[in-house]
Amino acid sequence: MTERIRHSRQSAIRLFAREYYESSLPDGGEGEFDPVFIITKLGAKVNRMLVAGVIEGLERRDTERGPMYQGSVRDPTGRHMWSVGSFQPELHSEMEELLARFESGDRFLMTCVGKSNHYQTEDGGFFVRMRLEDHAIIDRAAYAAWLIDAADHTMRRIDAWSKAKECADASPDSLREAGVPEDLHDGLLLALGHYPDWDPESYKVGVLQALSAAEGRFVSFDEDEADSTPEVAAAPQAEASGDSEEGAADIPETVLSLIKEKAGEDGLDYNSIVQGCAQRGINDEAAIENAIDKLRDVDCEIIEARFGWFKPLSN
């Protein structure tokens, strides 16, 4: 038998979409059996990854070698693009089922395990993707657990990155001394050498968004509404309509129970929701819209089956 280095299985890195798609450094793959990694700015060495989010796109493309599938899931920081190749026929029947669900307007949360890959365009653009190995449809609790897990790992990397930045020389010894976990040494040394100076604050913002989403708290990141968190947005209205603050906080609950109660085959339309809320003493349309957005994008309790029509997320 010829001598061959045995590569143990690569662990699945937990990371948000933004950290992944902002990467531009591949590493490894020199030998036939060497794993290829994508090195993120925070030094994660991504070969296998575990991601999650609400499904945002899925389409089949027919190629000379057979069909392939491209899809994406959205997490609080952006989209994870993934694909199933024509050379993965074992996944095709599941993809067809998923595609039928997606095309019928159904939206759901997914967890995806896959391998990193990348391609470069002729003009030098570098894009990363993920080749799907396995997937499952998950519920909100499992999604929240993933958000927390990914937030934890992201913070761990930010912490390690900050410690590494403080090191005078980039060597494994000094990283060890600075308290950087062993599994991040390689990736951090590569990342520090490749990426120009940058501020990881924006990744921390992603963590905050994810944690808020996991808690079901609505943190507004609208560009033009710096003060549109529900507390702020709802409070003046509560005063105006004489409602208590608790009453204002119940808007999402009211909207959700309305939709669950009244949604037909196509769901419940926007005007009916606003009317229903008015009957229950809620007149602030902006707050209702916020509540709908929250239920759809943050809580993932409802889906917008077609524009302006809402129904509960089937699960």
Q: How far apart are CA 170 and CA 247, in angstroms?
A: 56
CB of 179 to other proteins, least distance (A): 9
Q: How far apart are CA 65 and CA 62, in angstroms?
A: 8
- Binding residues among 99-128 for other proteins as defined by CB under 8 A: 111, 113
- Here the tokens at position 213 are 């989403």
Minimum CB distance to other proteins smaller for 136 or for 278? 136
- Here the tokens at position 185 are 């040494």
* Among the listed residues 55, 98, 214, 298, the single contact to other proteins using CB under 8 A: 214
Question: Binding string to other proteins for residues 47 to 86, with x set by CB under 8 A, is what?
Answer: -x-x-x----------------------------------
Nearest alpha-carbon partner for 21 in 206, 171, 170: 206
Minimum CB distance to other proteins smaller for 226 or for 278? 226
Minimum CB distance to other proteins smaller for 44 or for 274? 44
* Among the listed residues 120, 202, 257, 315, the single contact to other proteins using CB under 8 A: 202
Pairing of strands 25-28, 36-39: antiparallel
Q: Is 289 in the site for other proteins (CB under 8 A)?
A: no
* Among the listed residues 18, 107, 129, 153, the single contact to other proteins using CB under 8 A: 153
- Burial letters for 43-61: b for 16+ Cβ neighbours within 10 Å, e otherwise? bbbbbbbbbbbbbbebeee
Residues 6+ apart with CB under 8 A from 42: 19, 154, 157, 158, 160, 161, 188, 191, 200, 203
Binding site for other proteins (CB under 8 A): 8-14, 48, 50, 52, 111, 113, 133-138, 141-142, 144-146, 148-149, 151-153, 155-156, 158-159, 162-163, 165-169, 174, 177-178, 181, 183, 201-202, 204-205, 207-208, 211-212, 214-215, 219-223, 225-229, 232
